[in-house]
């Protein structure tokens, strides 16, 4: 390879707090425009800023799970720039003394393990949102997101491929979501990524001209943008084609191209200075210990527990611990019924299929775990069969039915009475003489069809094992 791509990442992650960073407005996603705004987060002069303690704890948690060195005296600074979604005219961030530095995150790709070094993580407030397409010819400002707490995780330029970038983002998502720092939902913007990218001759010590692609929120788009920028930079180096300057670019995923937004500012353009309205914050050992002691079980520990203690396959455990939400559902359901394999099976097969039909992903699906456990238990002890159980799970999700009451009221209990099943089997054999001949002629395919017919006669409620056995017996006879 003649050239290599060098990348560093800036990842913004929204902290999972109830309220904003310096006021008591709600930080919830999805409110009506400007529902969650007060004079402080609208940038009115003279409003005092009061630091959200939960935000600080979550930032410390992020520092711990990324093996960072936590700062003893952390300060807040002002980053000055004017933009309509930033009503104060500056962003409160950390420039001189961020919450932590020198972290390390281990990633794994096909090439093996690699450590990505972090320059720092700092706490800052988010900006608002501009809406361009509601009123023709006008832009509207929604300040709900203004001053929602973020951390920005700044890596060193340690990435050499899109695969490494993707692995790192997946790893961050796992570390931070399992630690309760953030839900890290890229599609809702609670995790966003800026990629700083340059291309140089392999072996060169100097970095090439750097461009920054801003605010990407899907792994696919990030990989596509990296491929596009790499090619654009390489073309320039080889032929001088195009224009390569230090700038900020926007990735247009539908066009499959990046576009220039503005020439990249340097740090001095922001005139950072210490924020005189916020006192320095001393982070002592006791605070760190409290956060460390409260950290929930991380994904890799869960994986080990699921495989070694609970006997799940590595495949199933990998899928469940790939999502904080799924592993919470698993652990919660385990409180009611200790049947790890069946719980895993039901989550990965039934629950995810139902969620998908509802356009929900693994991070959004939710279920009443007590009812979920009840359904599994009723299937295992043969109160209902597997098929009915799956249908009832859909009703639990959609209508919140209580499985036991519903089965009783609708007489959905499993038919395990051999006499009743046998009667149905004999009727089916009589009604499907053609299929019976085919079966006896060696076509075993029709067996499934006959099972289906028998099941139907019994309202789908029969014990499939008994149906199979009695049908095989009856067909074996002449
Ligand atoms: Zn506010
Ligand atoms: Mn930032």
Ligand 1 is an ion; its neighbours by CB within 5 Å are: 23, 25, 38, 40-41
Q: How many helices (H) and strands (E) does the chain have?
A: 16, 17
- Concatenating the DSSP letter of every residue in 413-434 gives --B--HHHHHHHHHHHHHHTHH
Beta bridge partners of 131: 140
| Predicted pLDDT at 123 | 98
Q: How far is the CA of 224 from the centre of ligand 2 (A)?
A: 23
Q: What is the pLDDT of residue 444?
A: 79
What is the reported pTM? 0.86
Q: Tell how far the Cα of 23 is from the centroid of ligand 1, in angstroms.
A: 5
Burial class (CB in 10 A: 0-12, 13-18, 19+), 190: buried
382: left (phi over 0), alpha (psi -120 to 50) or beta: left
Q: Which pLDDT does position 357 carry in this prediction?
A: 87
> Which ligand has the nearest atom to the CA of 13?
2
How crowded is residue 415: how many other Cβ atoms within 10 Å of its Cβ?
Answer: 18
Which residues place a Cβ less than 5 A from the ion ligand 2? 152
Scanning the structure block, which residue is given the tokens 């919470």? 328
pLDDT computed for residue 417 by the predictor: 82
Would you state the structure tokens that stand for residue 104, as one six-digit string? 């390390």
**Mean per-residue pLDDT pooled into runs of 10, the chain (478 residues):** 93 97 93 94 87 97 98 96 90 96 97 97 95 91 95 97 96 96 90 95 90 91 95 90 88 90 75 91 97 96 97 96 96 96 96 90 92 94 88 93 90 83 90 88 87 89 89 79
pLDDT at 6: 96
Cβ neighbours of residue 208 closer than 8 Å, sequence gap 6 or more: 6, 198, 199, 200, 233, 237
Q: What tokens were used for 164?
A: 């490494």
Please give the distance, rounded to the nearest whole angstrom, from the Cα atom of residue 91 to the centre of ligand 2: 9
- Counting ligands in written order, which one lies closest to the CA of residue 52? 1
**Phi, psi of 6, deg, nearest 5:** -120, 125
Q: Which listed ligand is nearest to 270 at the C-alpha?
A: 2
Ligand number, closest to the Cα atom of 49: 1
The ligand placed nearest to the CA atom of residue 148 is 1
Alpha-carbon gap, residue 67 to 466, rounded angstroms: 57
Ligand approaching nearest to the C-alpha of 215: 2
């Amino acid at each position: 390879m003649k050239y290599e791509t060098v990348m560093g990442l800036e990842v913004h992650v929204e902290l999972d707090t109830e309220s904003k960073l310096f006021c008591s407005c709600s930080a919830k996603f999805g409110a009506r425009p400007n529902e969650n705004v007060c004079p402080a987060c609208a940038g009115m002069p003279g409003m005092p800023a009061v630091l959200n303690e939960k935000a600080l704890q979550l930032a410390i948690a992020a520092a711990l799970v990324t093996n960072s060195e936590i700062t003893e005296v952390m300060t807040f600074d002002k980053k000055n720039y004017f933009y309509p979604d930033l009503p104060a005219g500056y962003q409160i961030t950390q420039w001189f003394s961020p919450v932590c530095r020198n972290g390390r995150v281990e990633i794994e790709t096909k090439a093996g393990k690699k450590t990505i070094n972090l320059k720092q993580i700092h706490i800052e407030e988010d900006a608002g949102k501009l809406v361009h397409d509601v009123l023709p010819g006008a832009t509207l400002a929604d300040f709900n997101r203004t001053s929602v707490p973020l951390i920005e995780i700044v890596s060193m330029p340690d990435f050499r491929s899109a695969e490494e970038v993707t692995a790192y983002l997946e790893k961050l998502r796992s570390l931070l979501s399992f630690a309760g720092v953030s839900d890290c939902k890229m599609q809702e913007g609670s995790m966003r990524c800026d990629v700083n990218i340059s291309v140089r001759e392999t072996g060169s010590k100097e970095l090439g001209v750097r461009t920054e692609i801003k605010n990407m929120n899907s792994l696919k788009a990030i990989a596509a943008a990296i491929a596009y920028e790499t090619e654009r930079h390489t073309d320039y180096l080889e032929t001088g084609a195009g224009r390569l300057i230090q700038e900020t670019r926007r990735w247009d995923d539908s066009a499959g191209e990046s576009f220039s937004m503005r020439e990249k500012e340097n740090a001095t353009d922001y005139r950072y200075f210490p924020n005189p309205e916020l006192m320095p914050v001393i982070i002592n050992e006791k605070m760190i210990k409290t956060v460390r002691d409260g950290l929930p079980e991380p994904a890799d520990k869960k994986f080990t527990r699921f495989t070694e203690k609970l006997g799940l396959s590595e495949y199933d455990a990998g899928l469940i611990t790939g999502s904080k939400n799924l592993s919470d559902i698993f652990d919660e359901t385990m409180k009611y019924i200790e049947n790890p394999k069946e719980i895993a099976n039901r989550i990965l097969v039934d629950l995810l299929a139902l969620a998908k039909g509802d356009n929900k992903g693994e991070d959004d699906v939710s279920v009443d775990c007590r009812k979920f456990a009840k359904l599994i238990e009723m299937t295992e002890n043969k109160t209902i069969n597997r098929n009915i159980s799956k249908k009832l799970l859909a009703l639990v999700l959609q209508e919140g039915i209580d499985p036991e009451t519903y089965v009783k009221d609708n007489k959905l209990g499993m038919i395990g009475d051999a006499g009743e099943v046998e009667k149905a089997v004999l009727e089916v054999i009589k009604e499907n003489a053609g299929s019976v001949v085919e079966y006896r002629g060696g076509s075993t395919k029709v067996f499934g069809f006959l099972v289906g017919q028998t099941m139907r006669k019994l309202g789908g409620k029969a014990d499939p094992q008994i149906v199979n056995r009695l049908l095989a017996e009856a067909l074996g006879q002449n």
